[in-house]
Amino acid sequence: DARVTQTPRHKVTEMGQEVTMRCQPILGHNTVFWYRQTMMQGLELLAYFRNRAPLDDSGMPKDRFSAEMPDATLATLKIQPSEPRDSAVYFCASGRTGGYYNSPLHFGNGTRLTVT
Amino acid sequence: QKEVEQNSGPLSVPEGAIASLNCTYSDRGSQSFFWYRQYSGKSPELIMFIYSNGDKEDGRFTAQLNKASQYVSLLIRDSQPSDSATYLCAGTYDAGGTSYGKLTFGQGTILTVHP
């Protein structure tokens, strides 16, 4: 089964440190999404890319978060500096889009981030 | 106001019963809807998607979409304890729009199926 791969699975870091999360989308998927999930807010869209171009990052705090897609097989989400309120599970999802109906999104296993 | 709202739950049903999960959406431009299941500590897993008005059945699951009333529902027949999870409803634009598959999720409904 093809799947979205995220690393690391868990990350514990101290406030102020840089955190980098990585995602390998399913081969052939041209759209990659970063979501954050917390108990209070549920699943929130942070940013997404289509054909490696950023389409929307309005959900992301711009001063500390950055998302990139250096090639078709790698998407990264970086937080610098990290803060305790960034503690959450970060999911990457990928899909194939551009037709009349887009394919459903497939989620990776997530990165559970704890900032102390 | 969230664009996708789910009945808050939690929902508890006995094994073998029908579980009914509901979702309403505010944006009439939404075209496609998805139901994801999420077990505690796991990632969302796609159960069903529906694009057209009416019912769509897959095994024990039936998704229903009513675009005029702007609601989506998921029925789980013969509920099993293994169905206990959080169920997430999500909507998206399609049909050549610019959202390219961007999903807006509801808060989720926690379902517990007790033996």
Which pLDDT band, with edges at 50, 70 and 90, does B94 fall under? low
Count of residues for chain A?
A: 116
Of A56, A106, A107, the CB nearest to B102: A56
A40 contacts on B by Cβ (under 8 Å): none
Of A91, A95, A110, the CB nearest to B101: A95
- CB distance A43–B51 less than 8 Å? no
Given a cut of 70, the residues of chain A with pLDDT beneath it are: 1, 99-102
Residue with the two structure tokens 């509901």? B22
- CB distance A95–B46 less than 8 Å? no
Quick one: closest CA in B to A97, which residue? B100
Q: Which two tokens stand for residue B88?
A: 């997430």
Residue B95 scores a pLDDT above 50 = no
Predicted local distance difference test score (pLDDT) of residue B103: 85
Residue B1 scores a pLDDT above 70 = no
Express each pLDDT in B33-73 by its tens digit. Answer: 999 999 999 999 999 999 889 999 999 999 999 989 999 99
CA distance B46 to chain A (A): 7
The whole-angstrom separation of Cα B26 and Cα A34 is: 23
- CB distance A100–B44 less than 8 Å? no
The whole-angstrom separation of Cα B51 and Cα B67 is: 10
What mean pLDDT is predicted for residues B88-105?
72
Nearest residue to B3 via CA among B104, B93, B71, B100: B104
Q: What are phi and psi of A15, to 5 degrees?
A: -50, 135
Query: Which tops the pLDDT comparison, B94 or B10?
Result: B10
Residue B96 scores a pLDDT above 50 = no
Q: Do the Cβ atoms of B20 and B35 come closer than 8 Å?
A: no
- CB distance A55–B100 less than 8 Å? yes
B11-14 and B109-114 as β-strands: parallel, antiparallel, unpaired?
Answer: parallel
- The DSSP string of A81-103 is S--GGG-EEEEEEEE--SSSSPP
Predicted local distance difference test score (pLDDT) of residue B98: 55
Predicted local distance difference test score (pLDDT) of residue B8: 67
- CB distance A97–B105 less than 8 Å? no
Predicted local distance difference test score (pLDDT) of residue A101: 64
| b/e sequence A5-40, b meaning 16+ C-beta within 10 Å | ebeeeebebeeeeebebbbbbbeebbbbbbbbbeee
Quick one: closest CA in B to A46, which residue? B102
What percent of chain B has pLDDT above 90? 67
Predicted local distance difference test score (pLDDT) of residue A99: 66
Predicted local distance difference test score (pLDDT) of residue A56: 85
Q: Which candidate in B30, B32, B36, B43 is best for mutational testing of the A interface (most A CBs within 10 A)?
A: B43
CA distance B17 to chain A (A): 28
Separation in Å, CA A111 to CA A12, A45, A81, B71, B110: 10, 15, 17, 32, 22
Q: Which two tokens stand for residue B44?
A: 């969302």
What's the mean pLDDT when you consider all of chain B? 88
Which pLDDT band, with edges at 50, 70 and 90, does B99 fall under? low
The whole-angstrom separation of Cα B80 and Cα B58 is: 16
